[in-house]
């Protein structure tokens, strides 16, 4: 069972209300805050700490940021890669992942950033590949609106070929560094990419040799049809959402099929379902904790996060007003939220309130609440029923949400033999059981690209 911490370099967890939790630390602008989280996760032998990212404040609601600032709705967002390095320096085995968008950065830049982190952390890094989703990000990054959903993924496919191509530029034995002969590296073993494609050009040669784990692990979380095709082709760790064991099983099988049809070994992909545990020494104590947590969210938290995720101004509608067919079609962000609300409500024109109630965005309503046995039972069932290979664990508050999980649930999972008792290797790939990729391995599942010899 793989465990990943779902982290945010910001003033709250992915629940905006978390900063109001009495036990939340408020020094989220300090390195010590992130170091403390890293220590808790490493103590619990988490495989990976992963930071999400968004390149804008949630200001789609009412086209204004004031509500986000007033209520602390993720209005602080630090650069996750810099914060990641801070955590890397405070840990020895914990994997370190950060999100970086293929829509707003150049592939050469992203390849160099993550290859460098991989070296600086002795082979523990991972990149969460996202295509970004709303106009706020576009406006901050020099565009007028977000690019169309499927086109973002077409562009991301080409982006991946460039990044992986650059990561393969230095053969594993290219470096010589022999002071006596004066040979630094073998010129025949460092290659230029010379990529000229539909969306990008990048020449090379790349300037960072390969790391202990070959190259960073690729994380992906696409959920739409197009997104899952992308995840099936490139993702090594996949984040998924599964409202039930049965839907998780279907999603798991479908994603593994995507990998197989892309020509990959489906076992080279680890699927982690998103969970929010609320745990304590007993079920009753956990329920008390949950009762407090459920008091914290505000209506505006939900409205603001829905507006930014769906790229639609929910302030333009009354809470009980149905969304028109045209409005629903105009949503350009996370289509999966819209499609789930349509499916669950059975209403072709759901109201804003239905979006709030069904999506739970900004609320902890789908938390797994219990003592060590109840939480471990729920996780073990999803795991053994092949609904997932592990979990991406969100926190109701930090670092306490993780500390509770590590203290109460991790030992129970270890006792049951479903979770490792210690790290088995030095690199993230070794700990995940993923092979070190041979140079050019990715070309077997993306054959359309030529890398110059
Ligand atoms: C656990 C998890 C973490 C995610 N982190 C980010 C993130 O940091 N930034 C982002 O823009 N999208 C993030 N996403 C959204 C996905 O990248 C993806 O866009 C979304 O699941 C919808 O799928 P689609 O792009 O195929 O429509 C995350 C999704 C999940 C499930």
Mean pLDDT of the chain: 96
Distance 222 CA to ligand 1 centre (A): 6
pLDDT at residue 354 is higher than 60: yes
In this predicted structure, the answer to whether residue 446 has a pLDDT above a threshold of 80 is no
If DSSP codes are grouped into helix, strand and coil, which group holds residue 99? strand
pTM of the model: 0.96
**C-alpha closest to that of 124 among 163, 89, 99, 100:** 89
The number of the ligand 1 atom at minimal distance from the alpha carbon of 226 is: 26
Range 227-253 average pLDDT:
96
What phi-psi label fits residue 398: left (phi over 0), alpha (psi between -120 and 50 degrees) or beta?
beta
- Which residues lie below 8 Å from residue 389, measured CB to CB, with a gap of 6+? 1, 2, 270, 271, 272, 383
Q: How many CA atoms lie within 13 A of 99 on its CB side?
A: 23
Cα separation, 312 vs 134, in Å, equals: 9
- pLDDT of 171 strictly over 90: yes
- For the chain, the residue count is 453
Report CA torsion sign: 338, 339, 344, 350: positive
Q: What is the mean pLDDT of residues 371-379?
A: 98
CB atoms within 10 A of CB 329: 10
Ligand 1 mutation pick, 130, 225, 255, max ligand atoms within 8 A of CB: 130
pLDDT of residue 449: 42
**Given its phi and psi angles, is residue 177 left (phi above 0), alpha (psi -120 to 50 degrees) or beta?**
left
pLDDT in tens, 131-141: 998 889 999 99
Confirm or reject: Cβ of 221 under 6 Å from ligand 1: yes
Atom of ligand 1 nearest to the CA of 52: 8
Show the tokens assigned to 216. 């960073």
State the pLDDT at residue 304: 97
Percent of the chain beyond pLDDT 70?
98
Helices 372-384 & 283-295 angle (0-180, nearest 10): 90
For ligand 1, is residue 335 a contact (CB within 6 Å)? yes
Determine the distance separating the centroid of ligand 1 and the alpha carbon of 184, expressed in angstroms.
Answer: 42
The tens digit of pLDDT for each residue in 95-154 reads 999 999 999 999 999 999 999 999 999 999 999 999 998 889 999 999 999 999 999 999
Whether 361 lines ligand 1, by a CB cut-off of 6 Å, is no
Between residues 443 and 287, the one the model is more confident about? 287
* Ligand 1 near 229 CB (within 6 A): no
Answer whether residue 166 shows pLDDT above 70. yes
Give residue 332's pLDDT.
84
H helix or E strand, kind and range, residue 254: helix 245-261
Of ligand 1's listed atoms, the one at least distance from the Cα of 137 is: 11
Mean pLDDT, residues 24-46 taken together: 98
Please tell me if the CB atom of residue 54 comes closer than 6 angstroms to any atom of ligand 1. yes
102, with CB counted inside 10 A (0-12, 13-18, 19+), is: buried
């Amino acid at each position: 069972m793989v465990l990943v911490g779902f982290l945010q370099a910001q003033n709250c967890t992915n629940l905006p209300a978390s900063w109001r939790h009495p036990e939340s630390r408020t020094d989220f602008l300090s390195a010590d805050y992130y170091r403390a989280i890293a220590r808790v996760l490493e103590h619990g032998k988490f495989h990976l700490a992963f930071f999400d990212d968004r390149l804008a404040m949630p200001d789609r609601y009412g086209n204004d940021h004031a509500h986000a600032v007033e209520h602390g709705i993720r209005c602080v967002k630090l650069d996750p890669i810099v914060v990641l390095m801070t955590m890397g320096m405070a840990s020895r085995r914990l994997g370190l992942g950060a999100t970086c968008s293929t829509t707003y950065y150049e592939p050469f830049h992203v390849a160099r950033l993550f290859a460098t982190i991989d070296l600086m952390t002795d082979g523990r890094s991972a990149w969460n590949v996202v295509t970004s989703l709303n106009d706020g990000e576009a406006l901050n990054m020099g565009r007028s609106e977000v690019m169309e959903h499927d086109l973002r993924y077409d562009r991301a496919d080409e982006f991946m070929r460039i990044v992986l191509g650059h990561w393969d530029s230095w053969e594993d034995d290219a470096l010589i560094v022999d002071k006596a002969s004066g040979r630094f590296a073998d010129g025949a073993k460092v290659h230029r990419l010379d990529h000229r494609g539909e969306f990008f050009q990048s020449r090379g040669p790349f300037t960072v040799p390969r790391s202990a784990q070959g190259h960073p692990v690729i994380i992906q979380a696409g959920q739409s049809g197009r997104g899952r095709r992308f995840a099936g082709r490139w993702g090594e760790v996949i984040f998924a959402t599964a409202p039930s064991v049965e839907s998780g099983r279907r999603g798991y099988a479908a994603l593994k099929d995507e990998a197989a049809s892309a020509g990959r070994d489906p076992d080279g992909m680890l699927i982690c379902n998103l969970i929010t545990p609320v745990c304590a020494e007993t079920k009753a104590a956990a329920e008390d904790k949950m009762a407090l947590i459920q008091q914290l969210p505000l209506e505006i938290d939900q409205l603001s996060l829905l507006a930014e995720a769906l790229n639609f101004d929910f302030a333009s509608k009354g809470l009980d007003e149905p969304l028109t067919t045209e409005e629903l079609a105009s949503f350009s962000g996370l289509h999966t939220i819209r499609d789930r609300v349509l499916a669950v409500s059975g209403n072709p024109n759901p109201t804003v309130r239905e979006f709030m109630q069904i999506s739970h965005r900004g609320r902890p309503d789908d938390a797994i609440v219990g003592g060590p046995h109840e939480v471990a039972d729920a996780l073990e069932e999803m795991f053994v029923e092949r609904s997932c290979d592990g979990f991406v664990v969100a926190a109701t508050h930090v670092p306490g949400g993780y500390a509770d999980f590590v203290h109460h649930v991790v030992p129970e999972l270890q006792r049951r033999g479903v979770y490792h008792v210690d790290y088995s290797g030095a690199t993230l790939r070794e700990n995940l059981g993923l092979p070190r990729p041979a140079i050019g391995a990715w070309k077997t599942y993306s054959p359309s690209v030529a890398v110059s010899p």
